[in-house]
Amino acid sequence: MVRIKVSHYVLIDEHSGVKTEYIEVPKATVGDLIDQLAKKYGAKFRNLILNPKTGELQYGIIVSLNDQDVRKMKGLMTTLSDGDRVSLLPPISGG
Protein backbone atom coordinates (compact mmCIF):
# COMPACT_ATOMS: atom_id res chain seq x y z
CA MET A 1 0.00 0.00 0.00
CA VAL A 2 1.19 3.49 -0.81
CA ARG A 3 -0.23 6.69 0.69
CA ILE A 4 -0.67 9.56 -1.77
CA LYS A 5 -1.64 13.19 -1.17
CA VAL A 6 -4.18 14.22 -3.82
CA SER A 7 -5.05 17.88 -4.47
CA HIS A 8 -8.23 18.69 -6.43
CA TYR A 9 -8.47 22.07 -8.19
CA VAL A 10 -11.30 24.24 -9.57
CA LEU A 11 -14.07 22.12 -11.20
CA ILE A 12 -12.64 18.87 -9.91
CA ASP A 13 -13.04 19.87 -6.27
CA GLU A 14 -16.66 20.78 -6.99
CA HIS A 15 -17.32 17.16 -7.97
CA SER A 16 -15.32 15.57 -5.18
CA GLY A 17 -16.26 18.02 -2.44
CA VAL A 18 -12.67 18.16 -1.19
CA LYS A 19 -9.58 20.19 -2.02
CA THR A 20 -7.01 17.83 -0.52
CA GLU A 21 -7.13 14.23 0.64
CA TYR A 22 -4.85 11.32 1.39
CA ILE A 23 -5.56 8.06 -0.42
CA GLU A 24 -4.03 4.64 0.10
CA VAL A 25 -3.82 2.53 -3.02
CA PRO A 26 -2.86 -1.15 -3.10
CA LYS A 27 -1.54 -0.86 -6.66
CA ALA A 28 0.79 1.96 -7.38
CA THR A 29 0.12 3.68 -10.73
CA VAL A 30 -1.59 6.95 -11.60
CA GLY A 31 -4.28 4.94 -13.40
CA ASP A 32 -4.96 2.87 -10.28
CA LEU A 33 -5.29 6.04 -8.21
CA ILE A 34 -7.73 7.59 -10.69
CA ASP A 35 -9.76 4.35 -10.71
CA GLN A 36 -10.00 4.44 -6.93
CA LEU A 37 -11.03 8.11 -6.95
CA ALA A 38 -13.64 7.40 -9.65
CA LYS A 39 -15.14 4.61 -7.53
CA LYS A 40 -15.37 7.05 -4.65
CA TYR A 41 -16.76 10.07 -6.57
CA GLY A 42 -18.64 8.50 -9.51
CA ALA A 43 -18.82 8.56 -13.29
CA LYS A 44 -19.08 12.34 -13.64
CA PHE A 45 -15.80 12.75 -11.76
CA ARG A 46 -14.17 9.99 -13.84
CA ASN A 47 -15.30 11.63 -17.09
CA LEU A 48 -13.72 14.93 -16.04
CA ILE A 49 -10.36 13.16 -15.79
CA LEU A 50 -10.57 10.37 -18.39
CA ASN A 51 -11.97 10.25 -21.90
CA PRO A 52 -14.85 7.74 -21.67
CA LYS A 53 -14.15 6.39 -25.18
CA THR A 54 -10.38 5.93 -24.93
CA GLY A 55 -9.73 5.66 -21.20
CA GLU A 56 -6.87 8.13 -21.63
CA LEU A 57 -6.52 11.47 -19.86
CA GLN A 58 -8.96 14.09 -21.12
CA TYR A 59 -7.48 16.70 -23.43
CA GLY A 60 -6.32 19.66 -21.37
CA ILE A 61 -6.56 17.96 -17.98
CA ILE A 62 -3.30 18.10 -16.06
CA VAL A 63 -2.35 15.34 -13.67
CA SER A 64 0.92 16.18 -11.99
CA LEU A 65 3.06 13.93 -9.85
CA ASN A 66 5.37 15.84 -7.54
CA ASP A 67 4.93 18.92 -9.78
CA GLN A 68 5.70 17.03 -13.03
CA ASP A 69 3.09 16.38 -15.74
CA VAL A 70 2.50 12.60 -15.90
CA ARG A 71 2.17 12.85 -19.71
CA LYS A 72 5.91 13.54 -19.75
CA MET A 73 6.45 10.33 -17.77
CA LYS A 74 4.46 7.16 -18.48
CA GLY A 75 0.99 8.70 -18.35
CA LEU A 76 -1.52 6.54 -16.48
CA MET A 77 1.14 3.83 -16.10
CA THR A 78 3.40 6.16 -14.09
CA THR A 79 4.38 4.41 -10.87
CA LEU A 80 3.51 6.01 -7.54
CA SER A 81 5.57 5.81 -4.37
CA ASP A 82 4.60 6.32 -0.75
CA GLY A 83 4.41 10.04 0.06
CA ASP A 84 3.95 11.23 -3.54
CA ARG A 85 1.81 14.30 -4.30
CA VAL A 86 -0.70 14.16 -7.14
CA SER A 87 -2.55 17.26 -8.37
CA LEU A 88 -5.63 17.16 -10.61
CA LEU A 89 -6.10 20.36 -12.62
CA PRO A 90 -8.86 20.98 -15.19
CA PRO A 91 -8.32 22.75 -18.51
CA ILE A 92 -7.98 26.49 -18.04
CA SER A 93 -8.59 29.14 -20.65
CA GLY A 94 -8.47 32.85 -20.58
CA GLY A 95 -9.31 35.72 -22.73
Q: What is the pLDDT of residue 38?
A: 94
What own/partner pairs with CB < 8 Å and gap ≥ 24 does 20-28 have? 25/1, 25/80, 26/1, 28/2, 28/79, 28/80, 28/81
The CATH H-level (homologous superfamily) assignment of domain 2-89 is: Beta-grasp domain (3.10.20.30)
pLDDT value at position 82?
A: 96
pTM: 0.90
Per-residue pLDDT for the chain (95 aa), expressed as one digit of tens each?
899 999 998 878 788 888 999 999 887 899 999 999 999 999 999 999 999 999 999 999 999 999 999 999 999 999 999 999 999 998 775 55
